[in-house]
Structure 1
């Protein structure tokens, strides 16, 4: 068993203390949506490893997998019905709080 250097230990303590604050949770919430999508790709669709060699083929695999995931998500909704409105994301809430105008496509149904 080893002990980390004092500087590293103090940095870990500061980071852990910061993670208990509500402000940190608000900042981290911005990342939470994309983290879930990345986790779904990595664990649910095998995106940790490419089936082919080469950057072009790897890119093609990523694009086709993304299309498949979108089709799968769209197929969960009955035909003729639109998807239920999604609540605003943490990033959209942040933009609203700061008074920063959003693109029209970013507006959540309210």
Structure 2
């Protein structure tokens, strides 16, 4: 006679062949990846502070940092449109004074 654990494993393997199971697991795997990143990449298994309020603040600030980190890795979808000239730039243009293309330019 087969044990309960073995029968449960067989049932689980059969469920994993279902397309609906794959859709549900796709969502779960993304969440598990994020939790793993927090636990192993940012040391969230242990809080640095005592007290629920401070621990919550640590979790929120770490989540913000992770989101900024992830957004900074994404390539821009399209270049930003050129900014309109400022009033000072318009004044320089009216006076015929040459101006730099960027404030970062040296000459």
Shorter-chain TM-score bucket reads 0.5 to 0.7
Residues 1:58 and 2:63 aligned together: no
Residue 44 of structure 2 is matched in structure 1 by: 47
Aligned counterparts of 2:19 and 2:37: Cα–Cα separation in 1? 27
For the aligned residues, what is the CA RMSD? 2.3
| Greater relative contact order (Cα < 8 A, sep 6+) | 1
Aligned counterparts of 2:8 and 2:74: Cα–Cα separation in 1? 47
Aligned counterparts of 2:19 and 2:36: Cα–Cα separation in 1? 24
Query: How far off is 1:82 after superposition?
Result: 4.6
How does the TM-score come out when normalised to structure 2? 0.58
* Equivalenced residues, count: 77
Higher gyration radius (CA): 2
Q: Report runs of 4+ in structure 1 exceeding 6 Å deviation.
A: none
Query: How far off is 1:47 after superposition?
Result: 1.0
Q: Find the residue that maps to 2:43 and give its secondary structure.
A: coil
Where structure 1 has 5 or more consecutive residues not aligned to the other structure, the ranges are: 84-110
CA deviation profile, 1:38-62 (whole Å, cap 9, x unmatched): 1211111111111122211111110
Q: Note closer, same or farther for the CA distance 1:10–1:55 as it changes in structure 2 (3 Å cut).
A: same
Residue 96 of structure 1 is matched in structure 2 by: none
